[in-house]
Structure 1
């Protein structure tokens, strides 16, 4: 028998008994029992009862999408990692609840899901994110089907959003040398000056820079040691709210643990910053280099907001913080730095990753090489 229905023979009543169990609109488990003369009759009537509009209305009268999310969270708390569940809830509450949170789950059909995805595309959400929201919705309504709350999943009939719609990627064209120089000038004497200088001098990841401490800087050898990364992770609080937890630990991969040389300009700037901090309030060697306005280690979310705000104020073309890394790679390749050297400096686990990431630049350099060789040979 299907989920929520069962059939058995009762010696006491000399009849076949069929039962349909369900959760009512308050979430309580309920059951309805009836008798039949034969097993086949009991099975047929059990299915009919489970599918009846009467029972469906009793099950779902007060369940809206927001209520379904709450049930989903309670069910999944002990079954999936807290961070995974928190990410799912965050996306559902951010993109789904404002549109259909108060809508009865019985009234959510494939057309409603398609409308939601179209509205997300119109808001310039990238295609991959739209499909991630769709996947979270599919899991939510699959849960409703498994629990016997719904007969079918309305998301199942809606295909993934086409790459021709939505915004395909957040990746922006990297800064040119002129744009990078203008940014360094605009960020001078701000809380983000050291961050931007380190980012454009080394190509380090955002979390690696935020985790840098003065003990990682060797001014005698002019090197930076990368051995940890600072980030943020969503988790569910005791009341079901999504909370942001700051984390700091090992970097992305084993290859990410590395020592990088500092340019004379970067070493001089960091030395000046260290001396200023020491004169201002003393300095512990284990203190973070990048601090927020409140003097505490800067969080990734604060950094992103402050970075975007500074670009807008300076009239500079906005790119993601991670695109600073792409800027460094492009400038280095243009300057003739070997792929292997970039791979090691960036902490990639292999040069193939570097080739794959910067394939367009590598191809452009190869084309230029071929033209130069042709010029030498035939002109």
Structure 2
């Protein structure tokens, strides 16, 4: 296929395949030609311009893209229509229910109100960037009418904007949902490229967390000794398992003789199925971990306790094979575990943290003990070691500082070294390994 040639205005002088250019009755110029369409077919397209040169340039661009193998977009509807199609026919089959629910909420609250009227084929990177910048500076109480629904308005409805803005993490998540939808539109050859990928939102700062110190962890375990879920809290602090992984653990997953546990499933509450046991989210999350001796003993005692509860419940016992259950054998709701954990913290006199911070505490304490980063990555079930390194960068920085201080003492003058060693009777400290 050749490129149109801007030769004489006469339609007959144009070569076959160059397309047609002519002036309409309304004084506009129209250019038409055949280009590549989805399904390896050809389609006649028409473009318009105020001058012959403008219309010809538009047709030239489309035919050049066709020669590069890019089919002409077939979608004619709005972005809102495509998002609805994508959520109801694609995402629902490819995503977990909770993830699909969050994607639907993002589309309903942000994407459709902000960009929904745009034609899918006309959406540009500039549109996405302008919308994100506007979203970044818009008070959500005003935009969504949240304050107007309060009994006593204290923001926009009262004339005093509270400037409740979206966090950088939320903006990044909204942007990622749009990228996922447009990426599927590219795969279905509805649009030639994903314009959202050309927009950079910046890397949000990681969420701060305050893991337990070794003394605080010991105090928590001491307080939990009399709790019926003592084995769960001990397992969480020693292995860094996620809340859903702990509640989804089954007895068949444990080999107490060999001291191992297979992490294969997670327990989640979904809007449709209630408490549901699902496979782990990623392949890296499915793993086998070693159990410390203390956890093995706690699990043996917990198994005996569960047998007593089963005998006491009799026919009302709900057998599901889970390691950690209610007194009637049912699955433990993650929200109930959070409440029990908060009560335990208050009883131990500790500051309030999230249950997930027990996982961070495990990794932090292991790093401070000099455990290799790759070992911690395998234990936590991270997909890439870069995730582990990024999340716990502050711990590694502290360890590096300690190592450098130790090296500084070792490389100091003999007088300084002897003073630091108490007169030279003790050998110099060994330099810590910088990881």
Larger Rg: 2
Relative to structure 1, the CA distance from residue 347 to residue 255 in structure 2 (aligned partners, 3 Å threshold; closer, same or farther) is: farther
1:197 corresponds, among 215, 229, 234, to: 234
- Name the structure 2 match of 1:112: 131
Matches within 5 A, 1:8-23: 18=32
Contact 2:313 2:328 in 1 (8 A): no
Q: TM-score, normalised by structure 2?
A: 0.52
Matches within 5 A, 1:351-362: 353=385, 356=389, 357=392, 359-360=396-397, 362=399
Relative to structure 1, the CA distance from residue 328 to residue 347 in structure 2 (aligned partners, 3 Å threshold; closer, same or farther) is: closer
Matched, 1:343 2:357: no
- Name the structure 2 match of 1:328: 362
Matched, 1:376 2:408: no
2:339 corresponds, among 309, 330, 338, to: 309
Matches within 5 A, 1:1-379: 18=32, 44=56, 63=78, 66-73=80-87, 77=90, 82-84=93-95, 90-99=101-110, 101-102=112-113, 104-106=116-118, 109=127, 110-118=129-137, 125-127=167-169, 129-140=170-181, 155=196, 158-161=199-202, 163=203, 168-184=205-221, 192-215=229-252, 224-231=259-266, 246-248=277-279, 252-253=283-284, 256-263=287-294, 266-267=298-299, 269-281=301-313, 287-291=321-325, 295-298=329-332, 302-303=333-334, 305-313=335-343, 314-315=345-346, 317-332=351-366, 334=368, 337-339=369-371, 343=375, 347=379, 353=385, 356=389, 357=392, 359-360=396-397, 362-363=399-400, 366-367=403-404, 369-370=406-407, 374=417, 375-376=420-421
Which consecutive unaligned segments of at least 5 residues does structure 1 have? 10-15, 22-30, 51-58
Q: Distance in 1 between matches of 2:269 and 2:236?
A: 25
Contact 2:367 2:373 in 1 (8 A): no
Q: Distance in 2 between matches of 1:139 and 1:72?
A: 10
Query: CA-to-partner distance for each residue in 1:4-23, whole Å, 9 max, x for gaps?
Result: xx9868xxxxxx994899xx
Partner of 2:278: helix, strand, or coil? strand
Which consecutive unaligned segments of at least 5 residues does structure 2 have? 2-16, 21-29, 36-42, 63-75, 141-162, 411-416, 425-435
Partner of 1:106: helix, strand, or coil? coil
Q: TM-score, normalised by structure 1?
A: 0.58
Relative to structure 1, the CA distance from residue 250 to residue 97 in structure 2 (aligned partners, 3 Å threshold; closer, same or farther) is: closer
Contact 1:191 1:293 in 2 (8 A): no
Relative to structure 1, the CA distance from residue 257 to residue 285 in structure 2 (aligned partners, 3 Å threshold; closer, same or farther) is: farther
Q: CA RMSD in A?
A: 5.8
- State the number of aligned residues: 324
Q: Distance in 1 between matches of 2:182 and 2:223?
A: 49
Contact 1:114 1:158 in 2 (8 A): no
Partner of 1:105: helix, strand, or coil? coil
Deviation of residue 172 (structure 1)? 1.0
Deviation of residue 341 (structure 1)? 11
Partner of 1:173: helix, strand, or coil? coil
